Every structure is written in C-alpha cells, then in structure tokens.
Amino acid sequence: MNKLVLIAGGSTLVYAILALAMGVLPGIVLSGRTPGPGVEPLTALQAEGREVYVANGCSYCHTQQVRPLPQDKIYGRPSAPGDFAYQTPELLGSERTGPDLTNIGVRQPSAVWQYMHLYNPRAVVPESVMPAFDWMFEVVDHAPPGVTPIPLPKAYAPAVGVVVPTYAAKALLAYLLSLKQPPLPGDAGENGSAMPAMAMRSEAAASADNAGAAASTAPAESAAPPAGNGYDAAKGQTLFTANCAACHQATGDGLPGAFPALKGNAAVNDADATTHIRVVLHGLQGANVGGVIYSSPMPPFGDTLGDADIANIINYERSSWGNHGAPVTTQQVTVERAKGK
Amino acid sequence: MQAGVAAHHSSSLGEKDNWALASIFAAYTISATLWLLFATAVGVLLAYKFGAPDFGAGAWLTFGRLRPIHTNATFYGWASVALVGLAYYVAARSSRISLYSVKLAWIGLVLFNVAAAAGTVALDLGYNDGNLEYREWPWPIRLIFLAALVVTAWNLIGTVARRSTDDIYLSNWYTIGGVLWTCIIALVAILPWYQHGLGQVSVSGYYMHNAVGMWFTPLALGIFYYALPRLLSRPIYSYALGVFAFWTNLVFYPIIGAHHFLFSPLPWWLQTTAIVFSVAMLVPVWGGSANFLLTMRGRVRDLAHSYPLMFILVGVIGYLVGSTQGAVEAFRSLQEVWHLTNFTVGHSHLTMYGFVTFAIWGGVYALLPFATGKEPGQLGLMLHFWMAVVGSFIYVISLSIGGTIQGLNWKNGVPFIQSVVDMQAYHVWRGVGGSLMFLSHVVFAWNVWRMTHGRTAKAAPPVALPPGEPVT
C-alpha cells in the first residue's frame, strides 16, 4: 500500500504543484493586466457578433495575434498584453488557414465587402477556401425599407429575389469592423500608427527580393515598360494582389455595384495622377465613378504603405488591363503625402 | 457483451472474474472504435472541404463546427475510452487480481460516452466554449468527463491496491498517474475565476499540451510497458530506465505549454522556459524509446511475424520521431516559419496517430485475444496495418511540406492568398492519406468484431509463446 501512496500520491502532489505554478498562477497574474490606452470593451451588438464568431469556430482558421515578426507587419503592429483585457474567451488561435483578423476593421472597413465575402468568399476572392456563410443571410423578394441588398455578382446571386443579412450576420459584421488596433503610445508620431507598419513592410519587401531572383528578373519579362522611375512591375503586382485585388479584382474589373473598375477608370488613365495618388493615400468615401455612387469606403493606404510601394501600385494600375495612364514617381507620392489630407 | 471467456489464464482468478474483465475490455474497445469511425469520417469530410469549400453547406456541416467535433471525438471518444479499457485490463492482469469494481467500470464507460455524445451535439449546435482548443465542450459536459476520470482513477487504484504481487508493475505507474493528473488538468481548465484575457491564453497553453502529454502519453506508454514483455516473453530492457522516464516526464512536461504561443504577448521568460523544457523532454522520450527498442532487440523475426508487435513498433517510432520533432519545433528560429501553418497539424497527427493510436492498436491486438480467446484474421490485420501506415505517412509528409511552403511564403512577403493556392496540392494529398486512414479504421472495426463476437480460436495467441503474465 505504501508504494501505491508514493507513486500515485507523490506524483500527483508533484503534478499539482506544477499545475499551480505553470497553469493557475500565470493565469491569475496575467488575468489582471490592465487595458492598454484606447482598448475599449465591445458594445452589446459587437459582443453578440463575437459569440457568432466563436459558435462557428472562426478562430480555427483565423488568428488574432500579431507577432513581432516582419511577416506579420501586414496585419498591424505587434499585439501587446493590454490589447487582450476585454477578450474572454481569448481568440488568439493556432492556425492561419486564412489571414489574421486582429486589425481587420481597419484593413477592410467595407461592410459591403464583408457581407459579400461572408455570403460566399469566392464572390470576391476566387481562390478562397473559406466556407460560405450564406445561411446567415436570407433571400427576400424586396429588401425592406432602409436595408440595402447585397450586390452579389450574378454567378453567386439567387435566381429570384435579393439577399439581405440576418441579425447574426449584422452582429458578426459589427464585431469584425470593431477589430481595430489602437496605436501604442510610443507610435503617436507624425504618421500615427504608420511607423512600425511601414518599417515592417519594407522589411518584408526586402526579404521578398532576397528570396528569389524572380523578383528582380520578372520586370524584364513583363509587358510593362520599365519607365526609368524605379517602377518594379513584379512588386507592383504583388502589392496590388495583397492590398487591392479583394475589391478591385485581379482583372481590374471591380464588382459591378459594389467596387468600381480600375480598367478604363478615368482617374487611373488621367495624365494628371494627383487624384489617383490621393485616393490611394487617403482612401475614399462615397466615390462617384462614371456616374455610379459606391457606398463602400475605400481604406487609406498611406498609413500602412511607404511612398515607393504606393508608386508601384499606382504604376501597376496605370499600365495594366489596357490602361495607359502616365507613370508616377515616388517623389510625386511624397509630395502629395506632404500636402496632407 | 457476449465476449468469450479468457482461455489462457491459469491464475487463481475465477471464470466469472475473467469473463467480467474481458467484457469490460471488449466493451471499452467497441465503444472507442465506434468513436474512431465517427471522428475520422468527420476528419475526411473536413479534409475534403479544403478542395471543395462549398461541399456540405449549412450551419451543421460548416468547417468551424466540425473541426472541434473531430478533435474532441478523437481525444475523448476514441483515444481516452480505448486507453482506459486497456488500463483496466493491464491493471487487473499485472496485479493478478480481479477488477476492484466491475460496476464502476461500466459507470465510467457510460459517463465517457454521455460526455462525448453531448459534447458532439453541443458543438454542432454552436455551443462552443470559446474555441479554446480541446476544451470546447460546454463546461457542464466537461464535468461529466471529469466524473468519468474520477471513477476510473478510483477503480484503478482500488484494483492495484488489492494486488497479489509485491511490486506495482510499471504500467500502472503510468496509467494511474495519468488518470490522476488529468483530473487536475480537467479541474484547472474548468474553473473560470482566473481565466481572463491574456491570463486565459497562458491557461490555454498549459491545458492544450498537458491534456495531450499528461493523459495520452502516459497511458499509451503504460501499454508499451505491458504488451511488449508479454508479446516477446522477455522482461522490459531496463525497469529503472522506465522509472526514470516516469519522473522526468512528470517534471518536464507540465512546463512546456507556453510553446504553443511563441511570439505572443505572453511574458517572454514564460515562452523561453517552455522552449528549454521542450528540449529537456528529449530525456524521457529518448530514454523511454530506447527502453522499448532495446526490449525488441534481436527479435526481428518475431516482429515480422506479428502484427501486434509491428503496430507497437510503429507506435514507438511515432513517439520517438513525433516528440523529437516537438522539441525541435519549439525553437524560435523554426517556429518563425512553422507556427500557425499546417506543419503543426502534421505534427499533431504524427503524435496522436503515429504514436497514441498505433499504441492502442498494438495493445488491443496483443491483449484482446488473450481476454476473449478470439482472434482477428491475418488479412484483416495486414490491411489495417498497411493502410494505416501508408495513409498516415502520406498525411504527415504532405502537411509537413505544405506547411513549410506556407511559412516560407509568409516570410517572403508574397500575398497571403498565394499560401492558400500553394497548399492545394498538399490538401489533396492530405485527403488521400486521410481516406486510407479511414479505410483502415473500417477494417479495424471488423477485426474488433472478430475479436469480440467471432468464433473462438482453437489455439495459439498472435505470437507463439507460452501464455501467462508478463515478467515483472
């Protein structure tokens, strides 16, 4: 009997001590972390949306933790302990089958895009493997007053009627749009939270160059003429895919009724690139393109991308899909940025 | 259960005790097998969805609800129930005594199944306790699972306490320890008061790894320590090494949980401590693996002629390779590439499948025929073994390569969607491997049926050796 007490009791005692030290105590200490500056609790609707997020296991494919690594800079600044004060249950996640969502409210603020993407992700990102959450929407003959039906592409729209979000979808949208990183106190410089993001970007871009000769040889093969202004077609395409294609699409056609086309777009083909540069830098609200008003806001990219990257994107747009706008230089972007909003 | 009476035991135990023990063992194995079939059918559907995301539409079949159903059913329906059934058999046989309480064992089985069934339904209805991995069941359901653990611990201790041997055989150290420690893990995970925000992150790290390493690992090792000597009619290579591995595993394992959250806002020292002890885990892992391999030394011919031994050999290799990989993966330099990619999914299948599940199969094939006097057919054993080995090999290799590409893509700053596109081929291979694995489980179910309800074998156990208790 004594042996049993030693083995079962002794080992359990040792384990209990270790469980206290490695599980319970860190839990107690870290649970007391105070919220960082600007970190707010969720509203009732956003909190309900968070429950929808949990019930459907979104965090099995989407993390909510930005690591202090170059490859994570596209998601925002590194997560800080104070960011998680109101986050119970924690949703840091363990896999990125899809992108990190820590800052998705800033990175993709368009409700129309989010709804289309939830209804069927392939309507906006053809290569996506995310499930369709069409069961969070309903098909009605006519949208009730005050509700805008979701402008789905024909291939994804129901044959009859229009698609409107249910309460669950509205709550989930409210939660997703609430996911915004408040800037850390140290970053409140000229560019707000942009500084670390920009540093991260250029690092990532640099490592892309190092990774393969492809990045440097691609421009030569590309149809776009090297304009002698430092335009890098391959990098332009990469940046466009990462930042712009979700709305304007890889074809430059946009999505009718939701996101304007860049192909044949007046601002993109205008010899005076000022409007084009300013829209990319500062974003756009209630855009009027070719007489159509678009309700989706376009996010500003001045905070997250450097001048050279923005020039690359603009030149890519100006030289693709049959567009023939005059190329811009990094200096032009710098000048427009200096003018401010 | 109409399981037959053990034919080979010459101990002082009565026929009735033998029959009761065989019935318990058989019932746990059958129940576990049904959960294995369910959990891996869900797994195959999940794998399929990576190639056809619109297949299986609707809330009940959506990926995010099925994924925790797959992991929890595998953990708590399949592996836990199968391991407890084996632990009961090993405890009674190695102590040369009847089970302390047959009734408690049945109650435990019912509790395990009620918890797993209720947990599955709850998750599918969207009642998910915070997406906190492996503790997603709503807490009242996890309380039922805890009750099953307490019943099991009580019954195992009661059995070993009445042993007719002087020593407590090493297997029982691991199984009794594992069940008792897991009661603590379950309790720590359920209590809500100290788990908020970042505090909960640290508890998640602790729980995630301890639920695996202090539950499945010790119970599976307990099978190795009993089944290997029994199949080979030779004592374990070094009893002392087994004891050493027991204590080092106990002290090192609970400290490594934070390595699931490297580069997170958890305190840096906590992450570094976890990395250091992840590497220290090489001590019990290599010690234990060497012990098993040295026990098998020079017996290649027996191995080649015994599928139970082959299953155990794969299990030992899975333990060695999977755990060594885990130690290496914990380095920051490698986590930088592999963290959050499919590489981790490959690793978890290498360990939960290549190690734990193969250990269970080896144990069931080695011991269930002794208990029931019924044998599976050679063809069934062969089909199960090779489909499972080849299937899991394809699965792990494809996700390891694909995960590495994902991680390098991110590091090289290509657009995120490229990492999704580049995974497509590896997702297909994962589906192929997973389908083979599932088919092998169907054959396993057939083999279990043969071992519990088939015709009683006339003669030899799987390996020709004198029946009797293992050399302790």
> What's residue A288's pLDDT?
86
CATH 3.40.50.300 fits A44-182, yes or no: no
pLDDT at A303 over 90: no
Least-confidence region, from A89-93, B337-341, B361-365, B468-472? B468-472
Cis? peptide before B229, omega within 30° of 0: no
Element at B79 (helix H, strand E) = none
Least-confidence region, from B347-356, B378-387, B459-468? B459-468
CB contact under 8 A, A27 and B203: yes
One-letter amino acid at A294 equals Y
Shortest Cα distance from A291 to chain B (angstroms)? 32
ipTM of the complex: 0.93
Cβ atoms of residues B353 and B392 within 8 Å: yes
CB contact under 8 A, B49 and A131: yes
**Tens-place pLDDT, residues B115-125:** 999 999 999 99
CB contact under 8 A, A96 and B68: no
- Residues of chain A in contact with residue B341, where contact means CB-CB under 8 angstroms, are 95-96
Shortest Cα distance from A28 to chain B (angstroms)? 5
Helix count and strand count (H, E) for chain B:
18, 0
Q: Which of A22, A84, A93 sits opposite B265 (nearest CB)?
A: A84
The CATH code of domain A218-339 reads 1.10.760.10
pLDDT-derived band at B278 (thresholds 50, 70, 90) equals: very high
State the average pLDDT over residues B439-454.
97
Average pLDDT, chain B: 93
Residue of B135, B412, B421, B422 for testing the chain A interface, max A β-carbons within 10 Å: B412
Shortest Cα distance from A120 to chain B (angstroms)? 9
Residue of B131, B137, B169 for testing the chain A interface, max A β-carbons within 10 Å: B131
Cβ atoms of residues B351 and B427 within 8 Å: no
Shortest Cα distance from B430 to chain A (angstroms)? 15
Minimum Cα–Cα distance from A82: chain B residue? B198
**Tens-place pLDDT, residues A184-228:** 876 544 343 333 433 444 444 444 333 333 333 333 333 444 444
CB contact under 8 A, A242 and B415: yes
Q: Which residue has the higher pLDDT, B279 or B469?
A: B279
Q: Where are the domains of chain B?
A: 15-453
**Tens-place pLDDT, residues A155-173:** 999 999 999 999 999 999 9
pLDDT-derived band at A147 (thresholds 50, 70, 90) equals: confident
Q: How many CB pairs under 8 A join A and B?
A: 256
Give the architecture-level CATH label for domain B15-453: Up-down Bundle (1.20)
For residue B327 the two structure tokens come to 């130690």
> What's residue B217's pLDDT?
97
> What's residue B8's pLDDT?
42
pLDDT at B1 over 80: no
Minimum Cα–Cα distance from B50: chain A residue? A129
CB contact under 8 A, A90 and B132: yes
For residue A319 the two structure tokens come to 């030289």
Q: Which of A84, A96, A97 sits opposite B197 (nearest CB)?
A: A84
Average pLDDT, chain A: 86
> What's residue A200's pLDDT?
41
Q: Which residue has the higher pLDDT, A147 or B24?
A: B24
- Residues of chain B in contact with residue A8, where contact means CB-CB under 8 angstroms, are 157, 176-177, 180
> What's residue B457's pLDDT?
65
pLDDT at B446 over 90: yes
Give the total residue count for chain B: 472
State the average pLDDT over residues A2-29.
95
**Tens-place pLDDT, residues B50-66:** 999 999 989 999 999 99
For Cα atoms B385, B386, B392, give the angle at the middle one, nearest 5 degrees: 95
CB contact under 8 A, A204 and B413: yes
- Residues of chain B in contact with residue A60, where contact means CB-CB under 8 angstroms, are 63-64, 67-68, 131
pLDDT at A25 over 60: yes
Secondary structure in 3-state letters for chain A = CHHHHHHHHHHHHHHHHHHHHHHHHHHHHHHCCCCCCCCCCCCHHHHHHHHHHHHCCHHHCCCCCCCCCHHHHHHCCCCCHHHHCCCCCCCCCCCCCCCCCCCHHHHCCCHHHHHHHHHCHHHCCCCCCCCCCHHHEEEECCCCCCCCCCCCCCCCCCCCCEEEECHHHHHHHHHHHHCCCCCCHHHCECCECHHHHHHHHHHHHHHHHHHCCHHHHHHHHCCCCCCCCCCCHHHHHHHHHHHCHHHHCCCCCCECCCECCCCCCHHHHCCCCHHHHHHHHHCECCEEECCEEECCCECCCCCCCCHHHHHHHHHHHHHCCCCCCCCCCHHHHHHHHHHCC
CB contact under 8 A, A8 and B157: yes
Residue of A53, A86, A94, A166 for testing the chain B interface, max B β-carbons within 10 Å: A94
pLDDT at B310 over 50: yes
Minimum Cα–Cα distance from A95: chain B residue? B340
> What's residue A229's pLDDT?
59
State the average pLDDT over residues A133-143.
95
Shortest Cα distance from B103 to chain A (angstroms)? 23
> What's residue B458's pLDDT?
56
**Alpha carbon distance B205, B256 (integer Å):** 8
- Residues of chain B in contact with residue A122, where contact means CB-CB under 8 angstroms, are 53-54
Shortest Cα distance from B167 to chain A (angstroms)? 8
Q: Which of A8, A71, A212 sits opposite B411 (nearest CB)?
A: A71
**Tens-place pLDDT, residues B143-172:** 999 999 999 999 999 999 999 999 999 999
Residue percentage of chain B with pLDDT more than 70? 94
Residue of A17, A92, A124, A184 for testing the chain B interface, max B β-carbons within 10 Å: A92
- Residues of chain A in contact with residue B54, where contact means CB-CB under 8 angstroms, are 120, 122, 131-132
**Tens-place pLDDT, residues B220-257:** 999 999 999 999 999 999 999 999 999 999 999 999 99
Least-confidence region, from A266-270, B258-262, B339-343? A266-270
